[in-house]
Structure 1
C-alpha cells in the first residue's frame, strides 16, 4: 500500500507527552486542512486526559489500533527514540506518512532502516528538526547564501549546562540520559538540533571525529563531547558540549566566521542573532517565535502531503545528524 496525495491531513499521534502540550500537536489544529484525529499513550488515563484537554475525539492505549484507525491518514511519532523505528515500520506498512520526533533514532543504522522502510512502502518521512523553518534561522541562511559575511571559513559550537539536582535524583528514570532509550545523553537530545541546523546552513558534513566521556558519573550516558567536522563544501567546524559545568555557567553559542564578517547566535534562544561585517559594528536581529514552535515546519509537511510545497526536514536530512553524532561519540574515554 502506498501513499496518495491527501486533501485533509488527519493526524494520529503516538506518545502524547510533554512535547505535544505546546510545542507541536496543538499547531495541527491551527493549520488549514489539518487536525488531530486521534491520540495514543500507553497509560490509558493519560491518553484520555490529553484527548479531553485538547478536544480530540478519539484516544487509544495501543499504537497499532491508532495506526489502523481509518480516520487517521498521517502519523506523528512523539515517543522517545527507542521506538521510532518500530512505530515507523507499523505506520509505513499501513501506507501512512510519518512525522517523527528528533533525534530521528538512537543511531544512524536505525535511521537508514526507517528510510528504507518508508521508501519501500512509498510513504514520505519527515523529522521534527523545526529550527529549519524558524524565522531567525531562515534569515541567517539567507544572509549566508547572499555572501553577507563573505566566504565561510569556520563554525564553532559551544554548549555548556550545569548538572541539576533534580537530574541527579531522577537519573535512573530520565530517558534522555539512558543510551538504550535515547541513543546517548543530552548531547543526542540537544546537539542533534545544532548539527542539523548547520546542515541546513551549509549542506552535509562529510567527515567528523571526536571524543566523549562520562566525567561526573551521575548517569550512564556521556556527559561531555568534543569534536571536529568538515562539510562537503570545505568549511571546517568544531564543537564542545559539556553538561556538568558549575551552576550559572551555562553557554549556548554558535559562531560562524567568514572572510568578511561574523554571525553568532543561540540555538535555544529567543529568536535573536548578531551580525558583524568587516570593520563594522555588531547589528542585532530579532524575530518573534511562534507559540507552537513546530508550527512552521508542520505547515510545510501539510503542504507536501497536499501536493503543494516542500519540507526542509526529511528522513534523509535527519539521518545525517545521527551519523555525525555517531562519529563524534565513537571514541569514549573512560
Structure 2
C-alpha cells in the first residue's frame, strides 16, 4: 500500500488532538503540510507536530505535488470553497462536520468532486469509532429485538463567553450554518442514519429562548426512518446543566448511550440490566481516517461520505426551516 500524504487547511483546535495526530498515526498515512492564514500560527503548529511544510495560502497547499489528499478543518462557511478548490486539483477531500452551511452547498461540493473524479469524505467519525460500532453490534444482535423508536435528549449550559456577548463562531449562522444544533446535533443525527438507516420524513420547530445570540438555541423534532422506526429529539443550548443521551427501544429491550459524553451504554432486556463501557480513542478521528486511507488504497470503503453527510444536512435544514424562514403564523 502507498502512503497517503495529507495537507490540512485550517489548523485550529480540532486538529490539535482529535484529528491532526491521526493522520500521522494511521497506517500508510502521513501529514506533510498545513495551512493557516496567520504565518506564525501555521509555523508554530507545523513545528509542534513535526510537519515539514506550512503555508498561509490554501491554493499553494492544494497544488503542492507532495500533497495527495486534503483535509479541510476550517469553519463551515469556507468548506465549499476549499472543497471545490481541492477537487479541481484532483485531490481527494476530507472535510470537517457539519459538511457545509446548508444542504445546497453540500450538493454543490458533491457535484464538484464527482465532476473531477475525486472522493469526498466527511468527519462524522463516530461511524468508525469502536465504541459506536459496539452500539451497532448490540442493536443488530437482536438483544433489544425489533426497533420501535429512538429518543434523543441533549441540553447544555450557555457558556460565560456567550453570556458576555463574546460570541464564538459556532453560534453565528453566517459562519456555522446555525447554532450549536448544527455543530453538536449533527453528530447524533448522522450516527442514527448510520445505525438505523436514512430518515425519510422530518418535522421540526426551532426557537431562540435565551436571547444571547441570533441563532436557534432550542430545537424539537420528530422523524421517521425509511425502515419505519420513529424518532424524536430535543436539543436545548441554554439549560441548567450538560446532558446528552439517546435511547433505542425495541420489542425486547432498550439501549441507552451518549453521543458526546464518555459514559457506559446501558442495555436492558429480559436478562436484566447491563453496563457496557464506551472507550474513546486518544485521537477520535483516527479510526475514520484509517478507513479513508484504506479506501484511497483500494481496500474497503469509508462509512462517512459526502452523500451520507448530505442526508444529515437535509434533516437539520428541515428541522430549523421555520426559524430561519420565519414561516410562523401571525395575526391568527
TM-score by length of 1: 0.95
* Structure 2 residue aligned with 1:272: 264
Whole-Å separation in 2 of the counterparts to 1:194 and 1:327:
16
Quote how far apart the aligned CAs of 1:146 are: 2.3
Match of 2:235 among 235, 241, 244: 241
2:201 is matched with 207
Q: Secondary structure at the match of 1:331?
A: helix
1:15 is the counterpart of 2:7 = no
Match of 1:106 in 2: 101
| Large movers: runs of 4+ above 3 Å | none
Which whole-Å CA distance do the structure 1 matches of 2:48 and 2:16 have between them?
10
Query: CA–CA distance in 1 between the matches of 2:122 and 2:264?
Result: 24
Displacement of 1:170 after TM fit? 4.8
1:232 lines up with 2:223 in the alignment: no
User: Number of matched residues?
Assistant: 325
Q: Which residue of 1 aligns with 2:170?
A: 176
The aligned counterpart of 1:315 is: 306
SS at match of 2:143: coil
* 1:141 corresponds to: 136
Q: CA offset at residue 186 of structure 1?
A: 0.2
- State the secondary structure of the residue aligned to 2:321: coil
- Contact 1:171–1:219 under 8 Å retained in 2: no
Q: Which residue of 2 aligns with 1:302?
A: 293
Residues 228 and 238 in structure 1, CA contact (< 8 A), matched pair in contact too: yes
**Is the Cα contact below 8 Å between 1:159 and 1:252 reproduced in 2?**
yes
Q: Name the SS for the 1:227 alignment partner.
A: strand
Q: Following the alignment from structure 2 to structure 1, what is the Cα–Cα distance between the partners of residues 195 and 251?
A: 16
Structure 1 counterpart of 2:252:
260
The runs of 5 or more residues in structure 2 that have no matched partner are none
1:171, 1:218 within 8 Å by CA — same for their partners in 2? Answer: no
TM-score, normalised relative to structure 2: 0.95
User: Which structure 1 segments of 5+ residues have no match?
Assistant: 1-5
1:289 positional shift: 1.8
CA drift at 1:145: 1.7
Residue 271 of structure 1, CA deviation: 5.7
Across the aligned residues of Structure 1 and Structure 2, the Cα RMSD in angstroms comes to: 1.2
Post-superposition offset of 1:143: 1.8
Question: What residue number does 2:48 align with?
Answer: 53
Offset of residue 288 of structure 1: 2.7
1:30 aligns with 2:25: yes
For the residue of structure 2 that corresponds to 1:114, the secondary structure is helix
